[in-house]
């Protein structure tokens, strides 16, 4: 999997987890949902997200760059 796919997977997981925790544990967990949403919003403009930096340092490959086409990343 690529950095971009891991990022979408993690964001979706955190949103669903924080919604469940907000419902069953404390409404303050909805603030975490808002944080994830704001982070996704800013990353749309800046093309940077803290999790992307972490994943790249862990060695997860990016789906962007020279020699990478949409057809190649779709096979993965």
Residue 32 CA: distances (Å) to CA of 1, 2, 58: 26, 25, 24
Domain count, the chain: 1
Residue 42 located in a structural domain: yes
pLDDT at 71 over 60: no
Q: What is the pTM for the complete model shown?
A: 0.75
Residue 68 located in a structural domain: no
Q: What angle do CA 2, 8, 44 make, to 5 degrees?
A: 100
Residue 69 located in a structural domain: no
- pLDDT (mean) for 33-50: 93
- pLDDT (mean) for 28-48: 94
Residue 50 located in a structural domain: yes
Per-residue confidence band for 75, with pLDDT thresholds at 50, 70 and 90:
low
Residue 66 located in a structural domain: no
The residue segments making up the domain with residue 44 are 3-60
Residue 74 located in a structural domain: no
């Amino acid at each position: 999997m690529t950095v971009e796919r891991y990022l979408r997977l993690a964001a979706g997981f955190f949103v669903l987890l924080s919604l469940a925790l907000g419902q069953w544990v404390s409404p303050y967990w909805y603030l975490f949902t808002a944080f994830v949403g704001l982070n996704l919003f800013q990353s749309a403009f800046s093309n940077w997200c803290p999790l992307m930096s972490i994943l790249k340092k862990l060695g997860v490959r990016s789906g962007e760059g020279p020699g990478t086409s949409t057809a190649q990343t779709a096979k993965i």
